[in-house]
Amino acid sequence: MAGIYIHIPFCRQKCTYCDFASFPKELGRQESYFACLYREIKGRGEQLKGRVFDTVYFGGGTPSAVEPQYIAGAMKQIGNCFAVAPDAEITLEVNPGTIDEKKYAIYKKAGINRYSIGLQTGFDGELRRLNRIHTAKDFLLACSLLKGERKSADILIGLHDQTEEQLLKTIDLALAGEVEHVSMYALTPEVGTPIYTDYLNGELPDGDEIADLYDAGRRYLSEKGFHRYEVSNFAKEGCESRHNANYWKRGEYIGLGVSASSFIDERRFTNAFTLDEYMNAVILNKFPEISSEQIDNEGAKFEMIMLALRTEKGLCVAEFNVRTGGDFFKDYAAALASQKNYLDISPEFVRIKEEYMYVQNQIISAFMEKSDNF
C-alpha cells in the first residue's frame, strides 16, 4: 500500500494556531502554483513507475479555498502519471466556509470520494477567536451538501476555557452532520503563532485538563459507536482513514507541493517551504527537495514501534521481526520490562493499555532509548 499527498498552500485567512505552510495573501498565485505542481506530479510519476497507489489526500492550507478546476486538474494529472488503484480512497480537506454546490459537483466528477471537514469547535465565539472563517451552521450546511459522501470532522481540544460539556456538544454537532469519522486533536501552541502568546500567558488548559477532556471525548465517542483505532482518530466500523493508516503502518507515500514530505525506499525527504523556492526549483526541472534522510535499520525499528503503538491494535511482533530482521522480545527486553505496567503483552501483539494511550509518549520513549543503545 502506498499513498499520495498533495499540499495546497492557500487559505482565506490564517488560523491563530496554524503552523503549516499556508499563505492567505498569495491566493492570486494559484494558477502558477498548480502549473508547477502538475510538472512535479509528472516528474515523480516517471520516477515511481511500477508502484500502485491506494490513497490520494489533498491537504493544506485549505484545498477547498482554491478554484475547483485546479483540484480537478491535479486529479487528472495524477491519473495520467501514477498507477492509482480503481478503489482508491481520495480525500479532500474542506473548510465549511469555502464549499458550494458548484465546487462539490466538480470534486465529485474529479473522483473525490471522502471529505475531511475542519469543524474544530461548535461554538461560534471560539471559532472567531481562532480566526476561523466559518460558523457552526456552515458546518451543518456543508455536511448537508455532502450528504451520502464519506465524511470526517476535525475537532480540537485544549481551547480557551473549554469544558467537558462544550467538547461533548461539539461532538454532537459533528455527529449531527452524519460524519463517520472524527479526528480529535489536542491543540499544540507552536512558537510564532498568535495562540502561543495565550499559552505563555496561561490562558489555555494545562496538560492534566487536556487529558481529562480527551478521556471524556473518547468515552463519549465510544458510546456513539466510534471506536478509537489510533490515539487521535475514531471511526465507525469500516470507516477508518486508509491514507492515515498507511502512515501508521510505515507504508510508503509521496508528497507533492510546497512543504510536502515523502517516504520512499527508506528515505524521508521534504519539499521547500516557500512558494518561490518551490516554484523556482520546478521551473528549473529539479525536484524541490530541501532535506533528505536515509533511514537505517535501527531507525526503521524504532519508527515501526513508535507508529504501531499509536494504534489500538499495537505492534504485530511477527511482522516486526520479518520486516526488520530483529527479535523484538530479545532486542527490547529492557524497555518491555520497564513499561510492563502500561502495556498489554502477548506473544503476537504488544499494545499500550487503553487508559494510557493518551500519555503514550513517555512509554514509547523507553523504546527509543533502547534502540539508541542497541
pLDDT in the model for residue 371: 45
Cβ atoms 22, 75 nearer than 8 A: no
What domain range includes position 106?
2-247
25 DSSP 8-state letter: G
Flag whether 267 is in a domain.
no
Give the helix ranges, DSSP H, for the chain. 30-47, 68-81, 101-110, 124-129, 136-145, 164-176, 194-200, 207-223, 242-248, 275-283, 297-308, 317-324, 328-331, 333-338, 360-373
Q: What is the pTM of this model?
A: 0.94
* pLDDT attached to residue 214: 95
Asked if residue 146 belongs to a domain, the reply is yes
Does one domain contain both 107 and 234?
yes
pLDDT at 19 over 60: yes
pLDDT value, residue 199: 86
Q: For residue 2, what are the β-bridge partners?
A: 252
pLDDT at 361 over 90: no
Same domain, yes or no: 85 and 186: yes
Same domain? 152 vs 301: no
Distance, CA of 279 to CA of 17 (rounded, Å): 26
264 lies in a domain?
A: no
Tell me what pLDDT residue 369 has.
63
Number of domains, the chain: 2
Rounded distance, CA 236 to CA 335, Å?
A: 33
Using the Cα atoms of residue 119, residue 186, residue 363 and residue 296 in order, give the sign of their dihedral.
positive
Q: Please state, in angstroms and rounded to a whole number, the distance separating the CA atoms of residues 199 and 281.
A: 37
Last residue of a domain, one of 231, 247, 263: 247
Q: Which residue in the block uniquely carries the three cell numbers 530479545? A: 330
Query: Is residue 351 a part of any domain in this protein?
Result: yes
203 vs 114: which has the higher pLDDT? 114
Who's near 257: CB < 8 A, 6+ residues apart? 6, 7, 8, 9, 37, 40, 271, 278
Least confident piece of the model among 175-179, 275-279, 331-335, 369-373 = 369-373
- Contact criterion met (CB below 8 Å) for 315 and 272: no
Q: What is the pLDDT of residues 219-254, one digit of tens each?
A: 999 999 999 999 999 999 999 999 999 999 999 999
141/291 Cα distance (integer angstroms)? 41
Question: How much is the pLDDT for 373?
Answer: 44
61/159 same-domain check: yes
User: CB neighbours (10 Å) of residue 109?
Assistant: 11
Q: What CATH number did the domain enclosing 368 receive? A: 1.10.10.920
Domain presence at residue 176: yes
Same domain, 50 and 166: yes
Alpha-carbon distance of 305 to 317, in angstroms, equals 10
Which three three-digit cell numbers place residue 7?
499540499
Q: Does 18 reside within a domain?
A: yes
The cell for 325 is: 530482521
In a domain, 19, yes or no: yes
What angle is formed at CA 145 by the lines to CA 144 and CA 147, rounded to 5 degrees? Answer: 60
Query: The domain that contains 211 carries what CATH number?
Result: 3.20.20.70
Could you tell me if residue 238 is inside a domain? yes
End-of-domain residue from the set 247, 280, 308: 247
